[in-house]
């Protein structure tokens, strides 16, 4: 993908004149001076990414809904996850392990503390192959709603409201103590899923989830205001984004930022490219 993007940018730089008027399409900023061929390639890239992302989400959701509860502890990793993780660690060592001691330490990693913490999963200040191979829990923004519906919704449910979640909670509460422990959640979400939900929802830190905690989560996390938590809870849709060419007085200023160069050279500032044709493709390569 990076090679395609680099090729596209080189094509745009070569074929388009320096002067142009900015046009914003979603996250991309394109100049009207881009040639039809360059615009077509940019559109194809965006379409392929959108189609692939939509298909992947649909496939994962349909498989998760069809799987039996005992196997639905969390979204499953790909079968080659170990090989992919080792490839990632080899990349990290080659790029950041300056003293060649086989680990990446904080002073060798030039990104911020949060990025390093995501890699250093055991928190010992070093990134090793074991860290990269260790499974990562889903982030709360994505994993929380999914796991909540799996634990407290009807079988194969896509969403659940607070009242239904509390009714299911009483069924999970096998010892009638007024809440559900991680162990009692195992039949629905597996051992790791139970521990994940306790860590996410247990506000009073008593080791069990009660009705008030479930209702509080639904009230806070219900982004679209329908009174329910869906597996892919999203904010209520806002106004449609503007698409097309815009007069200078109505354009929004792009935020200032700097990006690493693919060839390892100095970072590139967006402001340095003023008056030149620019295509921005957002993604994470770690």
Give pTM, 2 decimals. Answer: 0.44
Contacts 24+ apart (CB under 8 A), 239-248: 241/26, 242/24, 243/24, 243/25, 243/26, 244/23, 244/25, 245/21, 245/23, 245/32, 246/22, 246/23, 246/24, 248/21
Residues 189 and 124 in one domain: no
| Whole-number pLDDT of residue 185 | 94
Q: pLDDT for 209-253, tens place per residue?
A: 999 999 999 999 898 888 999 988 765 555 666 777 878 787 777
Distances in Å between the alpha carbon of 94 and those of 98, 104, 109, 209?
A: 8, 10, 12, 45
Q: Is residue 108 part of a domain?
A: yes
DSSP at 46: H
How many separate domains does the chain show? 3
Domain of 26, in residue numbers: 2-57+248-273
| Whole-number pLDDT of residue 260 | 78
| Whole-number pLDDT of residue 166 | 95
Residues 100 and 128 in one domain: yes
| Whole-number pLDDT of residue 4 | 44
| Whole-number pLDDT of residue 245 | 80
Q: Tokens in use for 206?
A: 């008593």
Contact 274, 52 (CB under 8 A): no
| Whole-number pLDDT of residue 97 | 93
Residues 124 and 205 in one domain: no
| Per-position DSSP letters for 65-90, written without gaps between them | HHS-GGG-SSPPPPTTHHHHHHHHHH
Residues 121 and 165 in one domain: no
Radius of gyration over alpha carbons of the chain, in Å? Answer: 24
Separation of alpha carbons 87 and 79, rounded Å: 14
Residues 120 and 177 in one domain: no
| Whole-number pLDDT of residue 282 | 67
Residue ranges in the chain modelled with pLDDT below 50: 1-80, 286
Separation of alpha carbons 278 and 13, rounded Å: 8
Q: Is residue 238 part of a domain?
A: no
Q: Is residue 206 part of a domain?
A: yes
| Whole-number pLDDT of residue 256 | 77
């Amino acid at each position: 993908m990076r090679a395609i993007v680099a090729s596209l940018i080189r094509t745009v730089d070569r074929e388009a004149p320096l002067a142009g008027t900015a046009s914003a399409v979603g996250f991309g900023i394109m100049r009207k001076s881009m040639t039809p061929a360059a615009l077509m390639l940019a559109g194809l890239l965006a379409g392929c990414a959108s189609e692939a992302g939509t298909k992947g989400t649909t496939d994962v959701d349909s498989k998760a809904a069809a799987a039996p509860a005992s196997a639905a502890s969390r979204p499953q990793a790909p079968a080659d996850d170990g090989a992919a993780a080792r490839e990632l660690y080899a990349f990290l060592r080659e790029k950041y392990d300056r003293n060649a001691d086989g680990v990446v330490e904080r002073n060798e990693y030039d990104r911020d503390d949060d990025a390093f913490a995501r890699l250093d999963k055991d928190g010992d200040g070093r990134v090793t192959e074991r860290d990269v191979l260790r499974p990562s829990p889903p982030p709360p923004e994505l994993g929380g709603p999914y796991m909540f519906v799996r634990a407290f919704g009807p079988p194969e449910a896509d969403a659940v409201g607070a009242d239904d979640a509390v009714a299911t909670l009483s069924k999970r509460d096998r010892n009638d103590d007024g809440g559900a422990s991680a162990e009692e959640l195992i039949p629905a979400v597996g051992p790791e899923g139970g521990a994940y939900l306790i860590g996410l929802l247990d506000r009073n830190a008593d080791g069990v989830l009660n009705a008030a905690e479930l209702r509080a989560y639904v009230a806070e996390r219900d982004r679209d205001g329908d009174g329910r938590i869906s597996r892919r809870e999203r904010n209520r849709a806002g106004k449609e984004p503007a698409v097309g060419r815009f007069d200078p007085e109505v354009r929004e200023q792009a935020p200032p930022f700097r990006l690493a160069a693919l060839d390892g050279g100095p970072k590139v500032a967006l402001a340095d490219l003023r008056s030149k044709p620019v295509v921005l493709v957002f993604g994470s390569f770690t």
